[in-house]
Amino acid sequence: MKVIAAYLLALLGGNKSPSAEDLKAILGSVGVEADDDKIELLLKEVKGKDITELIASGREKLASVPSGGSRVAVAAASGGGAAPAAAAAETKEEEKVEGKEESDDEDMCMSLFD
């Protein structure tokens, strides 16, 4: 992902066809060590392609990937134990936090308008 981000930054900076050295310079400027194999693979895959078309095709592919919301609903409907247990634990944490906030106000015995 870092290599892709560097490639996109180079394109946004006006470089129509970034080289491996350009990407290494971008990554190096933020203290990231560049992986030559990943850079070469990316440059080989995007060579001669329009970035807007690549992004559009990627969006189409991601549209078919299920998101986290549907998994929770399926797990709850099928009686899966992990999702309901996690939801219950989250609810208990919220209740504890709310209870603590209320008790803090009572301990102070002060009000803005007293």
* Residues 20-78 pLDDT 10s: 999 999 999 999 998 999 999 999 999 999 999 999 998 998 888 888 765 555 555 55
With bands split at pLDDT 50, 70 and 90, how would you rate the model's confidence at 84?
Answer: low
- The residue behind tokens 């050295």 is 21
More reliable by pLDDT, 22 or 107: 22
Q: Give residue 74's pLDDT.
A: 53
Q: Where are the domains of the chain?
A: 2-63, 68-103
- Please state the separation of Cα 67 from the chain's center in Å: 13
- How many angstroms separate the CA atoms of 54 and 43, rounded? 13
pTM here is: 0.55
pLDDT reported for residue 89: 53
Supply 70's token pair: 């549907």
CB–CB of 28/34 below 8 Å? yes
Nearest one of 45, 42, 44, 3 to 26, comparing CA atoms:
3
C-alpha 67/C-alpha 81 separation (Å) is 19
| CATH topology assigned to domain 2-63 | Arc Repressor Mutant, subunit A (1.10.10)
